[in-house]
Amino acid sequence: MDLILWLQLKILREDLVNSTITTYPLEDCLRHNVQELSKEFNCYDLKFFLPLFSHILAPEQQIRTYVFIRSGALSLTVLGLGCQDKEVRQAASHVLARLHFHLEGRQVGKDNMLWIRFVEALCKGAANLPNFKLNTFSAIFFARMALILTNPKHIMFSPLSLYLTAKQDLDLSTIPELYTLLFSSEVNFADHRKFILKILRDGMRTDKDFLDFLRSMAYKLFSELYSSCVSDADFQVIRLLHYRK
């Protein structure tokens, strides 16, 4: 990968990548220009970055896939699959196809198969959805997963990598791993619960999201946990933050 392409990826800031995942206006992104997205939502413009990613991942480029993934570019690409705008989703799909091409051609690296599985599972799951569109919860879930899987020491690395590899087909029509993480019996159950609760909080934006929330039985599970003895302070804080949105 040449210096110019490397520098193009280095401009991505981790805080802005995370902010984009949380606040990007997936439901109506065409109405906002770059300046509005930067000032009002404090996030990157996918309509600008997805074509750039496609150029960086052109077949003739000698790309270091781990640089692309760790930069947050994969997370932004995944987020594009949740956009209402068909052209943004198509651009995101194109980037994923090019990344898969480079991952398959690389054939080295202990985590290479994990990322091949990530891209294939995501695309296969999205292909079963109307218009190849992820719901907001799934888009945020997989965008954050793409960041977490770059760090084996992250507290969520183990449960997310297990989710990715344990099932042949992933159901992306609902909220991924909702029950498993909400009622985790692992030692780090509080971290698992906090992760999925933040997905619920940040994914609840529109009436469609609320319907997806109800369809996944999330409301019932949410209520059961809130009234149970295992409801902790973090759960209460996230719940309050949700109602402040």
Looking at 135, 167, 199, the residue that finishes a domain is 167
pLDDT of 14 reads: 92
Rg of the Cα trace of the chain? 18
Measured in whole angstroms, how far is the alpha carbon of residue 138 from the centre of its chain? 7
Closest CA to 138 of 195, 193, 179, 81: 81
8-27 mean pLDDT: 88
Instruction: Output the pLDDT for position 226.
Output: 65
Same domain, 95 and 158: yes
Query: Most distant CA pair in the chain: distance in Å?
Result: 57
On whether both 103 and 185 belong to a single domain, the answer is no
Domain-ending residue, one of 122, 140, 167: 167
Tell me how many helices (H) and strands (E) the chain has: 15, 0
Region 55-78: mean pLDDT is 91
Q: Per-residue pLDDT for 174 more than 70?
A: yes
Name the nearest CA neighbour of 144 among 163, 128, 120: 163
In contact, 71 and 14? CB cutoff 8 Å: no
Q: Are residues 21 and 136 in the same domain?
A: yes
pTM as predicted: 0.87
Residues 148, 189, single domain; the answer is: no
Cα-to-chain-centroid distance, residue 196: 12
Number of domains in the chain: 2
pLDDT digits (tens, 9 = 90+) for 217-226: 766 776 776 6
* Cα separation, 65 vs 155, whole angstroms: 23
Is a pLDDT exceeding 80 seen at residue 134? yes
Instruction: Let me know whether 154 and 231 are in one domain.
Output: no
Q: Assess whether 186 and 219 both reside in one domain.
A: yes
- Statement to judge: residues 34 and 146 lie in one domain: yes
Q: Report the 10 Å Cβ neighbour count for 178.
A: 20
Q: Are 58 and 2 in contact (CB under 8 A)?
A: no
pLDDT-wise least confident of 3-17, 60-74, 165-179: 3-17
Same domain flag for 133 and 111: yes
CA-based torsion, 224, 230, 234, 237: positive or negative:
positive
Same-domain check for residues 123 and 156: yes
Distance CA 63, CA 67 (A): 8
Answer yes or no: do 156 and 180 share one domain.
no
pLDDT computed for residue 77 by the predictor:
97
DSSP 228: S
pLDDT at 130: 93
Domain limits for position 52: 1-167
Query: Does 69 share its domain with 13?
Result: yes
A 10 A CB-CB count for 69 gives 23
In this structure, the answer to whether residues 1 and 40 fall within a common structural domain is yes
d(CA 221, CA 81): 27
Q: Write down the mean pLDDT value for the chain.
A: 84
Q: Which of 139, 167, 195 is the last residue of a domain?
A: 167
